[in-house]
């Protein structure tokens, strides 16, 4: 590793501040949507008293005709008032907790799971899908909120509408930074496109799973769905999409890798590609995929390798010429967001790949270039002084 000292100061990170500003209104609006339901139902007026004319449980009578796939559940609740009351109490408490956590920024990933479950229940219970179709709404655009590159593209929408495809997944070429992400595959039994996640892969097959030359495309989790096709599949499967179950190995305390091992059961939204006959995948430019899922992603987002245009769109700095730096932080030391506070922020605009193992602190003015492997086996933090650190 060659070192040249430079007096240039590191470029202040603007991308992270933009991301925070853009996410805050979304958190507040969605959080208030659910928190206000609790507020209206209990604080402004107690609507959980069964004998009062404003009792919220009466609305279930109106849900019954249009419910999708969960009519037996609603019928049971309507005919069992005691169970209906307990259900409404639990639903209200969940709305309160989910809304409050989103607005305060606490356990937001857990809160997002609650939002998904609440929204799905409301969608199925109210027959919202039928109402959208009746109003002439034909298409849905779905993406991860952490994908800062996912934006509604009217040209893509026009192509999707003309293609006749019921479901389209945006994919892009895999790089070293994406080798752990779910990739697109073809099922040998019927030639159907499927999504294969790393948690579904046996340990012995992991090297092949991460072979980016063999499995070249991965799911960006940006999806385009034809709503009439979605309704047909829901009607044929009891109101649910028959998605494969994924068993993910986790630890009970995410901050402590030595805590008790647990399994997290989940389904992948992109796995819906196997539920729609005629589903397609489209290779899109890398600019449409800019995820922030790990602290490595977040460090890159905060760095000078990322630029924000006048419209707030996040993209690689022009000097990068479309090539994304690869950042691989020590997962044991830098797993959570607050762990980056002690790391500092080096310049990454000239970086190809950084592999960091051990405790480091980059002082202002540290510039990383090329491919670097930085290791520190001691328990003490190693200071990286201002200067240029250039690898191969």
Residues 6+ apart with CB under 8 A from 104: 31
Nearest to 185 by CA among 224, 219, 222, 143: 219
Residue 293 catalytic? yes
List the catalytic residue out of 2, 214, 250, 293.
Answer: 293
**Residue 315 β-bridge partners:** 307
CA distance 290 to 324: 10
Kindly report the backbone phi and psi dihedral angles of residue 102, in degrees, each rounded to the nearest multiple of 5, phi listed first. -65, -45
**Residue 158 β-bridge partners:** none
How many CA atoms lie less than 13 Å away from 244 in the CB half-sphere? 13
Helix axes 81-104, 71-79, angle to 10 degrees: 120
**Residue 374 β-bridge partners:** 356
CA distance 67 to 317: 49
Cβ burial of 64 (10 Å; 0-12, 13-18, 19+) is middle
CA distance 35 to 27: 12
Active site residues: 293
């Amino acid at each position: 590793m060659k070192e040249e000292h430079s007096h240039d100061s590191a470029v202040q990170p603007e991308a992270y501040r933009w991301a925070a500003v853009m996410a805050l209104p979304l958190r507040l609006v969605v959080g208030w949507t659910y928190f206000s339901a609790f507020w209206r139902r209990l604080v402004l007026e107690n609507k959980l008293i069964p004998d009062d004319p404003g009792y919220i449980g009466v609305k279930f009578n109106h849900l019954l005709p249009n419910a999708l796939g969960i009519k037996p559940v609603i019928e049971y609740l309507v005919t069992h008032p005691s169970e209906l009351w307990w259900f409404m109490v639990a639903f209200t408490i969940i709305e309160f907790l989910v809304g409050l956590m989103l607005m305060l920024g606490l356990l937001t990933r857990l809160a997002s799971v609650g939002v998904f479950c609440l929204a799905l229940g409301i969608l199925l219970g109210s027959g919202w899908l039928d109402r959208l179709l009746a109003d002439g709404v034909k298409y849905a655009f779905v993406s991860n909120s952490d994908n800062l590159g996912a934006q509604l593209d009217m040209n893509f929408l026009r192509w999707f509408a003309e293609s006749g495809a019921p479901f389209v997944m945006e994919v892009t070429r895999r790089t070293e930074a994406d080798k752990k992400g779910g990739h697109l595959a073809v099922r040998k039994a019927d030639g159907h496109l499927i999504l294969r996640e790393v948690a579904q892969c046996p340990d012995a097959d992991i090297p092949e799973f991460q072979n980016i030359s063999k499995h070249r495309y991965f799911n960006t989790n940006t999806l385009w769905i034809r709503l009439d096709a979605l309704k047909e599949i829901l009607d044929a499967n009891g109101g649910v999409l028959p998605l494969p179950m994924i068993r993910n190995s986790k630890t009970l305390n995410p901050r402590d890798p030595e805590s008790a091992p647990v399994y997290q059961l989940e389904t992948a939204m992109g796995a819906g590609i196997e539920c729609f006959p005629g589903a397609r995948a489209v290779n899109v430019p890398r600019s449409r995929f800019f995820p922030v899922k790990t602290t490595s992603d977040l460090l890159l987002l905060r760095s000078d390798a990322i630029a924000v245009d006048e419209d707030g769109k996040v993209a690689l700095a022009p000097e990068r010429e479309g090539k994304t730096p690869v950042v691989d932080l020590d997962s044991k030391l830098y797993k959570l967001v607050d762990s980056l506070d002690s790391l500092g922020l080096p310049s990454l605009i000239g970086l190809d790949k950084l592999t960091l193992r051990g405790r480091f602190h980059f002082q202002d003015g540290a510039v990383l270039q090329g491919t670097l492997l930085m290791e520190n086996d001691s328990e003490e933090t190693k200071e990286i002084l201002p200067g240029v650190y250039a690898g191969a």
